[in-house]
Amino acid sequence: MIKIIGTGRKLPERSVSNDELAAMVDTSDEWITSRTGIKNRFVCTKESLTDLAEGAARIALEKANLSPQEIEMIICPTIAGDFSFPSLACCLAQRLNVKCPAFDINAACSGFIYGLEIAESLISKYKNILIVGADMMSRLIDWNDRASCVLFGDGAGACVVTSGGALKYIRNNADANPEMLFAKSRTGNSPFTNEESDGGFAAMQGQDVYKFAVTAVGEEINLALAKLNLSAADIDYFVLHQANSRIIDGVRTRLKQPPEKFPMNIDKYANTTAATIPILLDEMIDEEKVKTGNTLMMVGFGAGMTTGTCVMVWE
Ligand code: ACO
């Protein structure tokens, strides 16, 4: 049983508007805004992903009123850290001067919820667990491909987890289909293969991802509600992965719920992959939207295709 006792977020300094992108590729603010809800994103220029993860982690630790040395495990949900190895979590452990188990998990945009389930299963052994969802999609997307480069931004979101009764439900899943959304690993220079590199850029079947997201998120929400014997009206906030405002609106409309129960910040940050949920959660806490006793349902979906769903009654 776990609860979240501190959250933090860190975005790069450099902000990039839709208009700035429209000067680089054949797109427009109108196209991007109407199809996705995105107006802006932040992109690393000088910062490493470890810098962002450290920034978010330190804020979360401060809010949790803990020193880094009180952390007993670090989990970083991420698609790709600054190195193939060591993990982003180990780089972060060095920055925080912490000696404890530290590892990354890759469940793409569902990674934060996967991280919570791992924390839940290990909390009896490790007292305080730091989870930092962080991604730098700016180095994985093809900046000449207008269909994908407009969708993503860089960022990190952190939380500190400890024992508590907040988590009422958690379910992670993979409906595996690696062709729908992927970035291939580097090929290296092995003399034993003729495999050619495709550049390692992110690629996706946009409309298939869209359909998967609306359907799978809707199903996972209904499954969670049924399991807890709740209705959508009983949930105060649905904190959904911020990939596209139309996906979120599609899910919301099917559930017949008002917009204020589906907070969004995709207009400011675009899709920061594993970081969207903890960044949004941290903003909601800073804005004092989340109050003790509120019921939150968090749902991630992403490459795999993975989903992650949890329900927390805030403590
Ligand atoms: N600007 C202008 N035109 C564009 C752009 C752009 N940035 N991108 C594509 N187009 C064009 C296409 O070339 C196409 O032109 P054509 O009709 O002449 O061939 C036209 O717009 C329509 O393209 P579609 O792909 O059909 O556009 P669609 O309405 O499906 O919207 C979008 C595309 C926004 C990508 C949508 O499919 C979507 O949001 N899918 C989900 C994507 C997503 O969320 N991915 C990440 C989720 S998982 C994760 O977070 C890792």
Ligand 1 centroid–CA 209 distance in Å is 10
Which amino acid, one-letter code, is at 50? T
pTM comes to 0.96
Ligand 1, atom 26, lies closest to the CA of 207
Q: What is the pLDDT of residue 51?
A: 98
**94-128 residue pLDDT tens:** 999 999 999 999 999 999 999 999 999 999 999 99
Ligand 1 centroid–CA 31 distance in Å is 9
CB 193 within 8 A of CB 313: no
Ligand 1, atom 25, lies closest to the CA of 206
Peptide bond into 86 cis (omega under 30): yes
Q: What is the pLDDT of residue 189?
A: 87
Pocket (CB within 6 angstroms of ligand 1): 27, 31-32, 35-36, 108-109, 146-147, 150-151, 181, 204, 206-207, 209-210, 243-244, 271, 273, 302-303
Q: What is the pLDDT of residue 60?
A: 98
Q: What is the pLDDT of residue 7?
A: 98
Ligand 1, atom 5, lies closest to the CA of 147
Ligand 1 centroid–CA 91 distance in Å is 35
Which amino acid, one-letter code, is at 194? N
Ligand 1 atom, smallest distance to 243 CA: 44
Ligand 1 centroid–CA 174 distance in Å is 24
**76-94 residue pLDDT tens:** 999 999 999 999 999 999 9
Residues noted as catalytic:
109, 241, 271
Q: What is the pLDDT of residue 136?
A: 98
Q: Which residue has the higher pLDDT, 32 or 192?
A: 32
Ligand 1 centroid–CA 167 distance in Å is 36
Q: Angle 245-255/29-36 helices, nearest 10 degrees?
A: 30
**44-65 residue pLDDT tens:** 999 999 999 999 999 999 999 9
Place of tokens 């291939």: 184
3-state SS string over the chain?
Answer: CEEEEEEEEECCCEEEEHHHHHCCCCCCHHHHHHHHCCCEEEECCCCCHHHHHHHHHHHHHHHHCCCHHHCCEEEEECCCCCCCCCCHHHHHHHHHCCCCCEEEECCHHHHHHHHHHHHHHHCCCCCCEEEEEEEEHHHCCCCCCHHHHCCECEEEEEEEEEECCCEEEEEEEECCCCCCEECCCCCCCCCCCCCCCCCCCCEECHHHHHHHHHHHHHHHHHHHHHHHCCCHHHCCEEEECCCCHHHHHHHHHHHCCCHHHCCCCHHHHCECHHHHHHHHHHHHHHCCCCCCCCEEEEEEEECCCEEEEEEEECC
Q: What is the pLDDT of residue 149?
A: 96
Q: What is the pLDDT of residue 262?
A: 98
Place of tokens 């594993």: 274
Mean pLDDT taken over the chain: 96
Assigned token pair, 173: 């899943």
**185-242 residue pLDDT tens:** 988 888 898 888 888 899 999 899 999 999 999 999 999 999 999 999 999 999 999 9
Ligand 1, atom 33, lies closest to the CA of 206
d(CA 140, CA 138): 6
